[in-house]
Amino acid sequence: MKGTTDERYMKEALKQARKAADIMETPIGCVIVCGDKIIARGYNKRNLKKNTLAHAEIIAIHKASRVVGDWRLEDCTLYVTLEPCPMCAGAIVQARIPRVVIGAMNSKAGCAGSVMNLLQTPGFNHQVQVETGVLADECSEMLSGFFKELRRIKKERKAALTEAKKKAILDTTTKNFAEHV
């Protein structure tokens, strides 16, 4: 039963990640559940908001705190498509969220076990139960597909700029030659 419930909520987090991808943000999505109800949703908006703090988890935690009327989210579960970064892991601990369910792991910046484990650091006053690998393939594929497309777009833009530069040089050279004839 728990696996089915976790998958259902991770699918909701994936919907949030798609919203991020639609606006060319890194596709990370998050939902926060209390009881059997989603009380907050978030997706990356760093570029849109020009704000380093606009990660999916931070946005969702902020919304959830407003819904429950407290900074403590002690009865909630956070679902996120990618393992939290140091900032988001810290916010999860500070919000006293007891359980986090993660889709894909993040070998470059993950703080739920990949690079370090801030969610279960023994010296902290709050420990988080962590479940990993829920719809991991779907979460990973969304990220890898996004970055593949981003690289393709950058390559096309670079090629277009190179062509524009060649044309400008040719036009300038032709103009200069014509002036000297």
Q: Is 62 annotated as a binding residue?
A: no
If we measure between CA atoms, which residue out of 10, 21, 13 comes closest to residue 142? 21
Q: Is 88 annotated as a binding residue?
A: yes
Active-site residue, selected from the candidate residues 7, 12, 25, 57: 57
Tokens of 52: 């380093």
> What SS3 string covers 117-173?
EHHHCCCCCCCCEEECCCCHHHHHHHHHHHHHHHHHHHHHHHHHHHHHHHHHHHHHH
**By the 8 A CB rule, do 28 and 17 touch?**
yes
If we measure between CA atoms, which residue out of 13, 38, 39, 41 comes closest to residue 28? 13
The total number of residues shown for the chain amounts to 181
57 in catalytic set: yes
Q: Is 34 annotated as a binding residue?
A: no
- Decide the pairing of beta strands 99-104 and 29-34: unpaired
Q: Which residues are annotated as a binding site?
A: 55, 85, 88
Residue stretches of the annotated binding site for Zn(2+)? 55, 85, 88
Would you please indicate which residues are annotated as catalytic (active-site) residues?
57
